[in-house]
Amino acid sequence: MEKYGPTRRGATKRPADGGARADAIVVEDLGRTFVDRRGRGAGEVTALSGISLRVAPGEVHGLLGPNGAGKTTLCKILTTTLEPTTGSARVLGLDVTRQSRAVRRSIGLVFGGDRGLYGRLSARENLWFWGAMYGLRRSELRARAELLLERVGLADRADARVDTFSRGMKQRLHLARGLVGNPRVVILDEPTMGMDPVAALDFRALVAELREEGRTVLLTTHDMAEAAAVCDRVSLIDRGRLLMTEDTDAVGRLLSRYERVVAHGVSAGLADRVGALAGVVAVRHEADRLEAETELPSATASVLAVLAGEGVHRVSTARPDLAEVYLHLVGRRGMAVT
């Protein structure tokens, strides 16, 4: 398969000049609003607002956010199926609005669910169809389809109709479809949706291969663990706004640092004592239920010790979810979440 200059996970992909070398994806002050016709009267929904983002060539970049954060909207703009309301976006130097045809030829798109596959065609025929759309010659197209069917583990089902496939198999075919045009930039919108855990692991290996081939990958997910496993950098997006872009390792460290302790049968006085412990960053107390956020493993241990010392034994610990990590991050950086 064509190589674009290998890169390694963990290697710094951003050039020392801060990005003067052409970035693969450049998003500047991007915004998108929709007219919301649901409910009474038409209101405006801001799906994206003031998004600026750069992805270096060969980087695997994760776009993380909860449902409705605006991830799909950004993917649609980058893949030219939706125009921005404000700002601009370029893929490989091509403007997504003014040079949309050229952008479409340079990218591969993979999205979750059933969209974009022809159920009455076989897996192989689907790939031939999409390869033809990319303008591949017949012999090239056939060879590429075989290679990709093998690569995503569908070679033995190549002639079966796609509407007989499981969700996970369809998702793997989507991946093959996204790669059929040998794209330098691959955009994956919730690529493991519907995959079983084994297939999701295979998917991670595939993304690693794409990185080795020097392709640029932008992938959306709301699974922090998935992002941590495959991405070089991640951007956290919430309610249409970009909260931060960081090296994945930094976010992973942050995630493993925070913990939540939930206990029942806790008095207000005891809740105050827990709140005063070093490393306890937040405490909520309602009725006799305590929720304490800790930011160091030793802090969790001290909370548990204080609770046990007072005879409180209905206690559990958990890692915070993504939304809570956002709040920690945002609080620390003094940024506003609106």
Ligand X SMILES: Nc1ncnc2c1ncn2[C@@H]1O[C@H](COP(=O)(O)OP(=O)(O)OP(=O)(O)O)[C@@H](O)[C@H]1O
Return residues touching ligand X (CB under 6 A): 34, 36, 45, 47, 65, 67-73, 222
Residue placing its CB nearer to ligand X in the complex, 73 or 126: 73
Q: How far is the CB of 232 from ligand X (least distance, A)?
A: 21
Residue placing its CB nearer to ligand X in the complex, 77 or 173: 77
Residue placing its CB nearer to ligand X in the complex, 216 or 221: 221
Residue placing its CB nearer to ligand X in the complex, 183 or 240: 240
Sign, CA torsion 252/256/257/260 = positive
Q: How far is the CB of 13 from ligand X (least distance, A)?
A: 25
Residue placing its CB nearer to ligand X in the complex, 58 or 65: 65
Q: How far is the CB of 47 from ligand X (least distance, A)?
A: 3
Parallel, antiparallel, or unpaired for β 315-318 and 289-294? Answer: unpaired
Q: How far is the CB of 18 from ligand X (least distance, A)?
A: 28
Q: How far is the CB of 36 from ligand X (least distance, A)?
A: 5
Sign, CA torsion 262/263/264/269 = negative
Which residues, including other chains, have CB under 8 Å from residue 220's CB and lie 6 or more apart? 62, 63, 64, 65, 71, 72, 74, 75, 188, 189, 190
Q: How far is the CB of 170 from ligand X (least distance, A)?
A: 17
Residue placing its CB nearer to ligand X in the complex, 79 or 126: 79
The two three-digit tokens of residue 242, written as one number: 């970009």
Q: How far is the CB of 92 from ligand X (least distance, A)?
A: 23
Residue placing its CB nearer to ligand X in the complex, 71 or 184: 71
